[in-house]
Structure 1
């Protein structure tokens, strides 16, 4: 069995007691934080929401990029087909007509 000897100096004893209280207080706070399930669950939900928003933004950027690529490819195909039938401005006239029809429907 180990015996603990107390320091002879009262000021040193008070300093050790203060240090022990501080360490004990930190330990109690750590246990209390682990036991606070409501706060831990709320923090986890917030973290998850941030991750979902970030992934959604990345997916939206990909969709926009793919839509732009598809639109450019479609326009190129339309020009190619229009040129093949001998009228390079036909696709522009058709486009204007479809726009005027869609704006009339609105």
Structure 2
């Protein structure tokens, strides 16, 4: 069962959701070939808009953790079935993902600090 997005968490909601789904995949709660619920169902479960779910799923697709098939749904990828990238490009993409996450977290902290009187 997904956990709801926390307002007290400095990470953007889509990052919280991607992290939660990633944790479920790594823990084996979501297994390879398992079909994920629809974006509508996930949005209701997490208490967010469908666009937020879209961003979270895009993050996991980029990492090669899930696969989306038009008309069929979104599924947990087979282990080791990451996007066919050469080793150097794969490493660069992973570093870019980490950098973007760090920037997202930094922006969220700065926005939170700016809101405080």
TM-score scaled by structure 1? 0.30
Structure label with greater radius of gyration: 1
TM-score scaled by structure 2? 0.27
Structure with bigger strand share is: 2
Greater RCO (CA < 8 Å, at least 6 residues apart):
2
Structure with bigger helix share is: 1
